[in-house]
Amino acid sequence: MKKPWTLADILDFEFFLSSDQELIDSDGEGHPVERDRAIYLQIRELCGQDDSSVDRACLLRQWLSRRRDQFLHDTGGVTVLPGGLFRELTRICGWFIFIFALFVGWGSAFSFLSYSGTTPVNVSFFFLFFVCSQLFLLLILLISFLARRLIGGESLPILYTLLRKGILYLAGKIGRLPAAMDSHRWLAGLSGRLRRRHRSYALLFVLPFFLLIQLGGIGFNLGVLAATLLKVVGTDIAFGWQSTLQLSSETVYRLVETIARPWSWLLPAGIGFPDPAQIKGSQMVLKDGIYHLATGDLVSWWPFLCLSVAVYGLLPRICLLVAGWLTSRSLLRRLDFTTADQSRLLHRMLTPRLSTESSLEQPPVYEEEADEPARNQIALEAGGRVLALIPDELFDDCDREELAGLVRARLGLEVERCLRVDQGGDEEQQVFLEIGQENLTGADSLFLLQEAWQPPIEEFFFFLRRLRELVGEKVLLSIAFIGKPDAGTIFTTTGDQDYRIWSKKIDTLGDPYLQCIRLVEL
């Protein structure tokens, strides 16, 4: 049985991907190509080849396991990875929030139920403070969720945002991340990276904070129930109701009966909530005092109040906690691992490397056995059509065979068609029509050639946004950068500064299925 992914796994996975991308961008020592290919040769027998999505998840899970082992070996096991830190902090924060809310609920109810013997506890105020207020918060949560879905906003409720920042602050203070990194800078970068990956991870990294809030709600309601029951059992406490609106006892009974409907089938009037006579007998009239009221009527309200807190306060929080946990598990199972950086990693793993033991008499050979099925790479890569979009000024000078070879080497993809693109020109709409007629799916890819020495202008990014709207959010879009053309070819190397400027600008789009690469390696 394959081990399922967890949120901690995703965090560690993003950590290693980010670290590798820095090496690739800088083209410094420790380039991950050879390492990732070696890992694949070690783990390829552990993952079946029947289902491409399962293969992806399995290969990446095994890759993560090897990278963790290597990391712990290199650091001597004293450094905590972000996933472990996240798991530890959420557990600590969960217990802290639960216990804190428990005491808040206990203290609030205990002080509210203080009874001097002359004025009964007002049932209306108790219900308003400890039941209606929670229903109001749940209503706000529902409205914010629906508004977020309808409007498409990505902002989180303020409470979740504050909680997230608090956990990041604690993580920076713990200081058990790799010594080579600035904890605050890296954690802030990870938070931004995950927000930019919202299309692929959806609510995965919102749900932990949602679950923490529900734990707080459960603790608060348990505190209210515990304090109420202790007051009822340990003291002589009276409950009553009054209203300036001159409500009749029959009207109050109908309202109470409606509220008690969830449990009235099991605990009828007189047991689970006051009957009409008890409601009439517990009505307080300011000029008459309470000495004429019967004790049985005054104590008949506490089951109704406790059950109201349990049904309308505690039960919804438990349901939301379970629903959030199940949703998190479902989202983790549905991850398809087809984003741009994940596809690049798979390409590094699946691309055969030339043997270094060849001689002058014998040509270089690939390191794996000759009978390794070629279908493995087809099953694990995108495997669909690849359309190359070439700017109008480069189209005539672009050697198709040379372009196809570079794309094959850098991305492991075969170019099917080349389309001329005139960004902002009269022919742009025609290009969009041609692309739209292709009916691209998530298995297809678009490849856009771009000169990195030219500055990133808004017109280009407007073109990208329109392109993304046209093809859908899961079509892989690769922007391949080249340098200034020379007399022999347009495929020249890209300068470091130019590439960094473009990369940072493209990262701001927050598109996990958009990648930028150097088409020609340094």
Domain locations in the chain as residue ranges = 31-78+338-355, 83-333, 382-518
Residues of the chain with pLDDT under 70: 1-2, 25-30, 48-54, 77-79, 115-118, 148-200, 202, 244, 285-293, 353-384, 423-427, 522
State the Cα–Cα distance between residues 461 and 450, nearest whole angstrom. Answer: 12
State the Cα–Cα distance between residues 392 and 389, nearest whole angstrom. Answer: 9
- Residue 299 neighbours by CB distance under 10 Å: 18
Q: What is the pLDDT of residue 163?
A: 62
Give the global pTM.
0.79
Q: In sequence order, what are the residues at sequence separation of 6 or more whose Cβ sits closer than 8 angstroms to the Cβ of residue 467?
A: 432, 435, 446, 477
DSSP 8-state secondary structure symbol assigned to residue 289 = B
Q: What is the pLDDT of residue 351?
A: 78
Closest to 479 in 3D by CA, of 435, 441, 515, 428: 515
Q: Which helix (H) or strand (E) holds 295?
A: helix 295-298
Q: Which helix (H) or strand (E) holds 108?
A: helix 82-112
Domain range 382-518, CATH class: alpha beta
State the Cα–Cα distance between residues 20 and 415, nearest whole angstrom. Answer: 27
Task: Kindly report, residue by residue over 363-372, the tens digit of the pLDDT.
Answer: 444 454 434 4
Pairing of strands 476-482, 417-421: unpaired
**Virtual torsion, Cα 346, 348, 353, 356, nearest 10 deg:** -140
Contact 16, 192 (CB under 8 A): no
- Residue 374 neighbours by CB distance under 10 Å: 8
Q: What is the pLDDT of residue 132?
A: 94
Residue 239 has which token pair? 């409950």
DSSP 8-state secondary structure symbol assigned to residue 26 = H
Q: How many CA atoms lie within 13 A of 487 on its CB side?
A: 0
Q: How many CA atoms lie within 13 A of 182 on its CB side?
A: 4
Length of the chain: 522
- Residue 254 neighbours by CB distance under 10 Å: 12
Residue 412 has which token pair? 């492991």
Which SS3 state, helix, strand or coil, does residue 495 take? coil
Q: What is the pLDDT of residue 236?
A: 78
Q: In sequence order, what are the residues at sequence separation of 6 or more whose Cβ sits closer than 8 angstroms to the Cβ of residue 328?
A: 7, 204, 207, 208, 211
Q: Phi, psi (5° rounding) for residue 285?
A: -115, 125
**Is the sign of the CA dihedral 477, 470, 501, 491 positive or negative?**
positive
Q: What is the pLDDT of residue 164?
A: 62
State the Cα–Cα distance between residues 166 and 211, nearest whole angstrom. Answer: 15
State the Cα–Cα distance between residues 16 and 322, nearest whole angstrom. Answer: 31
Q: What is the pLDDT of residue 226?
A: 96
- Residue 474 neighbours by CB distance under 10 Å: 17
State the Cα–Cα distance between residues 376 and 362, nearest whole angstrom. Answer: 27
Q: Is residue 169 classed exposed, middle or buried when 0-12, 13-18 and 19+ CB atoms within 10 A define those classes? A: exposed
Residue 136 has which token pair? 């109001």
Q: Which DSSP string do the residues of 154-221 spell out, in sequence order?
A: -PPPHHHHHHHHHHHHHHHHH--S-TTS-HHHHHHHHHHHHHHTHHHHTTTTTHHHHHHHHHHHHHHH
State the Cα–Cα distance between residues 212 and 256, nearest whole angstrom. Answer: 32
Contact 304, 272 (CB under 8 A): yes
Residue 31 has which token pair? 């380039």
- Residue 107 neighbours by CB distance under 10 Å: 13
Q: In sequence order, what are the residues at sequence separation of 6 or more whose Cβ sits closer than 8 angstroms to the Cβ of residue 74?
A: none
Closest to 5 in 3D by CA, of 85, 60, 71: 60
State the Cα–Cα distance between residues 245 and 249, nearest whole angstrom. Answer: 12
State the Cα–Cα distance between residues 380 and 347, nearest whole angstrom. Answer: 9
Q: How far is CA 348 from CA 64, 387, 471, in A?
A: 14, 21, 26
